[in-house]
DNA sequence: TTACCTTTGCAACATTGTTTCATTTGAATA
DNA sequence: TATTCAAATGAAACAATGTTGCAAAGGTAA
């Protein structure tokens, strides 16, 4: 699916900045940081617009934000397990952060379970971050 | 265990700033933000020293940092399941963030499992953040 | 009490994120 | 295709968060 199609399917206006972000994430196939996206966006990068578009794309369910640490954020394309128009992707898998090469990988096969919470608590969303060494760095 | 004892047991110098942080966290019994700790520390608060002491206490295993979101950090006292001198507390439980009252609760009963990672991956540490409504806010 | 190493607090800086507002642009309509 | 209007952009300015270097102060062991 092209970047244009992605936006159209979600009823979001097609603008240069949004196309550039989606293309950047499609080009690499793993979650990227703001700086990594910025470098792929070249001239069309503007910080303020970037943040606003990240919010827009994120709340539309096109991308998801991965907070490894407060100074270490990545954005990942939602891999469209569902290509349905109104099916907002729920971030349902764990993420792996390699402390050596600093890459982030979506672990699609590790689903976020329904935790059994104490009486009275209700869960809306969960995040699992696993940190360690990835296959490439684990010599 | 008094704040002084905690530091002595970990072989960390007893200073006003460190005592104040530990006392603040002991006073309330849930994880607090920098601002919440700051208010309990009163005159002994200094931003730079605070960050340095948070690092020191954190790497000693006296406290743990909970990153709910990149702009939403909490620090929790490690509840000394182990009071052994050199037994560095490993952050082994999930955390709950209430999106209504913004409190964070340690879910001691939800242990972080050993996830079965793809071939070649090795895990060193994991974080689980569950977001939703806590008992008090869930009318 | 001395002595030494650690910690502190200040200044200055770097990064990250938000708000306001005038201008531009996308896309639906005529 | 031209018109129209709400939505998006980009600049300035600000706010919050986090770090580094360095001289002064403080903790602890002898």
Cβ contacts of B52-61, under 8 Å, gap ≥ 24: B53/B15, B53/B17, B53/B18, B53/B21, B54/B21, B56/B12, B56/B18, B57/B12, B57/B18, B57/B21, B57/B22, B60/B10, B60/B12, B60/B88, B61/B10, B61/B87, B61/B88, B61/B89, B61/B90
Q: A109 and B118: CB-CB below 8 Å?
A: yes
Q: What are the counts of helices (DSSP H) followed by strands (DSSP E) for chain A?
A: 4, 5
Neighbours of B96 (CB within 10 A): 26
* Cβ pair A14, A8 in contact under 8 A: yes
Q: Which residues from B are below 8 Å from A54, CB to CB?
A: none
The pLDDT tens digits of the residues spanning A123-139 come to: 999 999 999 999 999 87
Q: Looking at the complex, does the CB of residue B126 fall below 8 Å from at least one CB of chain A?
A: yes
Average pLDDT along chain B: 90
What gap in Å lies between CA B125 and CA B118, rounded to an integer?
A: 16
The pLDDT tens digits of the residues spanning A8-28 come to: 999 999 999 999 999 999 999
> What is the average pLDDT across B69-95?
71
> Is the pLDDT score of B80 beyond 70?
no
Mutate to test the interface with B, among A93, A116, A127 (most CBs of B within 10 A): A127
What gap in Å lies between CA B123 and CA A96, rounded to an integer?
A: 9
> Is the pLDDT score of B84 beyond 50?
no
What gap in Å lies between CA B73 and CA B10, rounded to an integer?
A: 24
Q: Which residues from A are below 8 Å from B138, CB to CB?
A: 120-122
Distance from CA(A46) to C1'(D8), angstroms, rounded: 13
Mutate to test the interface with B, among A130, A131, A132 (most CBs of B within 10 A): A130
pLDDT the model gives residue A81: 45
* Cβ pair A42, A35 in contact under 8 A: no
Binned at pLDDT 50, 70 and 90, residue B90 comes out as low
Supply the pTM of this predicted model. 0.89
* Cβ pair B39, B28 in contact under 8 A: no
Angle at CA of residue A62, ends A2 and A68, nearest 5°: 125
Please report which helix (H) or strand (E) contains residue A30, including its range.
Answer: none
Q: Is B11 left (phi over 0), alpha (psi -120 to 50) or beta?
A: left
Binned at pLDDT 50, 70 and 90, residue B70 comes out as very high
What gap in Å lies between CA B11 and CA B5, rounded to an integer?
A: 10
Range 80-99 of B in CB contact (< 8 A) with A: 94, 96, 99
The pLDDT tens digits of the residues spanning A58-73 come to: 999 999 999 999 999 9
Average pLDDT along chain A: 90
Helix (H, G, I), strand (E, B) or coil at B110: strand
Q: Which residues from B are below 8 Å from A108, CB to CB?
A: none
What gap in Å lies between CA A29 and CA A74, rounded to an integer?
A: 12
Binned at pLDDT 50, 70 and 90, residue A90 comes out as low
> Is the pLDDT score of A83 beyond 80?
no
The pLDDT tens digits of the residues spanning B41-68 come to: 888 899 999 999 999 999 999 999 999 9
The pLDDT tens digits of the residues spanning B23-42 come to: 999 998 899 999 999 999 88
């Amino acid at each position: 699916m092209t970047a244009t199609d992605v936006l159209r399917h979600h009823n979001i206006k097609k603008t240069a900045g949004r196309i550039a972000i989606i293309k950047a994430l499609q080009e690499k196939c793993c979650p990227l940081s703001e700086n990594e996206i910025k470098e792929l966006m070249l001239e069309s990068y503007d910080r303020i617009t970037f943040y606003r578009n990240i919010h827009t794309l994120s709340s539309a369910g096109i991308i998801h934000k991965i907070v490894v640490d407060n100074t270490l954020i990545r954005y990942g394309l939602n891999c469209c397990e569902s290509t349905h128009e109104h099916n907002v992707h729920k971030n349902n898998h764990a993420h792996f952060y390699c402390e050596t090469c600093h890459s982030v990988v979506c672990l699609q096969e590790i689903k976020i379970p329904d935790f059994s919470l104490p009486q009275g608590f209700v869960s809306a969303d969960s995040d699992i971050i696993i940190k360690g060494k990835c296959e490439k760095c684990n010599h």
